[in-house]
């Protein structure tokens, strides 16, 4: 059975969709735009339902004819063309609405991220002030909620998913930003490494190292932090992959991965037993465990948020 880390700490905020660098965004404005999109969607759906009713009526009338006339063929062709057009408009509106929701969640996350920094009366951060730790059970609930709230990438089936969507890795040279969740490979003994769940505190362009805050490690002055080179960190997904439209953006069955062991903040080596079939489902992962007869645990659920792969040479005991 994998080791459980006993220290306590607070989790991060809801994982954010990528906010465009330009433009002024506010939650009230985005909510108004979302409200308008929903009304447009309802109007389009009403118009589209009339077309579907006409298609059904036409088919009903055709049943009384022994042979389909050219009139009905042309009429159905026109109705189906209209139905396809209506469906595309609805699809585009739904996609825009989902983008607005993802952006609202991202802005909410940024506000939570900023409010986590303790401040003194002058408004400046106070590094000597230690935040109160969060109970282990609360931390686990926060991480589970983050995974559930991670936005789904809803691109068209003809579009390629972006980096950090499902199993799609980050681009070469990618630099994670403060607040991003990562898997961090840290020393836990003289000759032992451990993949832990961490949050990026900062990145030094000079040394090309991250300062990573252990999501569950409580030190003398607050959260325990590590200075790590980029090769010892792996950015975690920012978007869920949709199994219906982009199944190739999911890890394959029997693929070797590192996954967050349930009720811990550590990643362990395992094999994908089954993949999600909907955006709300989780992977089932069999973890390497010599206490079982075949060397692997029974399949356990792991959200898309907390699973990744590494280069073969990185897997060392």
pLDDT tens, residue by residue, 52-63: 998 998 888 888
> Could you tell me the sign of the dihedral formed by the alpha carbons of 66, 72, 76, 77, in that order?
positive
Q: How confident is the model at residue 73 (pLDDT cuts 50, 70, 90)?
A: confident
How far is Cα 7 from Cα 149, in angstroms, rounded to an integer? 25
How far is Cα 58 from Cα 255, in angstroms, rounded to an integer? 50
Query: 184-202, pLDDT tens digit by residue?
Result: 999 887 788 999 999 999 9
How far is Cα 132 from Cα 116, in angstroms, rounded to an integer? 11
Surface-to-core class of residue 43, CB atoms within 10 Å of its CB (0-12 exposed, 13-18 middle, 19+ buried): exposed
Specify the pTM.
Answer: 0.63
Is the confidence at residue 154, as pLDDT, over 90? no
Instruction: For residue 163, give every residue at least 6 positions away whose Cβ sits within 8 Å of its Cβ, in sequence order, or none.
Output: 169, 170, 171, 174
Read off the pLDDT of each residue in 166-175 and give the average, rounded to a whole number. 93
Is the confidence at residue 42, as pLDDT, over 60? yes
Percentage of residues of the chain with pLDDT beyond 70: 79
Residues in the chain, overall count: 317
Read off the pLDDT of each residue in 154-164 and give the average, rounded to a whole number. 88
């Amino acid at each position: 059975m994998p080791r459980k880390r006993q220290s306590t700490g607070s989790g991060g905020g809801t994982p954010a969709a990528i906010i465009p660098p330009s433009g002024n965004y506010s939650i009230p404005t985005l909510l108004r735009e979302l409200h308008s999109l929903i009304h447009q969607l309802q109007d389009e759906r009403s118009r589209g339902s009339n077309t579907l009713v006409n298609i059904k009526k036409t088919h009903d009338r055709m049943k009384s004819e022994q042979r389909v006339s050219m009139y009905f063929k042309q009429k159905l062709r026109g109705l189906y063309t209209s139905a396809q057009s209506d469906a595309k408009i609805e699809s585009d509106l739904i996609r825009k609405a989902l983008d607005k929701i993802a952006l609202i969640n991202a802005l909410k996350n940024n506000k939570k991220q900023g409010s986590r920094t303790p401040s003194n009366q002058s408004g400046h951060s106070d590094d000597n002030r230690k935040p109160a730790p969060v109970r282990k059970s609360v931390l686990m609930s926060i991480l589970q909620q983050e995974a559930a709230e991670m936005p789904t990438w809803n691109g068209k089936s003809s579009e390629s998913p972006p980096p950090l969507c499902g199993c799609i890795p980050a681009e070469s040279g990618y630099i994670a930003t403060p607040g991003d969740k990562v898997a961090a490979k840290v020393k836990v003994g003289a000759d032992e490494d451990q993949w832990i769940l961490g949050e990026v505190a900062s990145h030094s362009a000079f040394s090309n190292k991250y300062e990573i805050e252990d999501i569950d490690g409580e030190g003398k002055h607050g959260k325990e932090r590590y200075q790590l080179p980029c090769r010892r960190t792996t950015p975690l997904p920012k978007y869920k992959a949709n199994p219906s439209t982009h199944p190739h953006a999911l890890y394959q069955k029997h693929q070797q991965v590192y996954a967050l062991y349930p009720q811990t903040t550590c990643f362990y080596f395992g094999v994908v037993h089954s993949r999600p079939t909907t955006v709300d489902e989780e992977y089932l992962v069999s973890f390497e465990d010599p206490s079982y007869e075949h060397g692997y645990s029974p399949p356990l659920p792991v959200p898309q948020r907390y699973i990744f792969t590494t280069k073969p040479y990185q897997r060392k005991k």
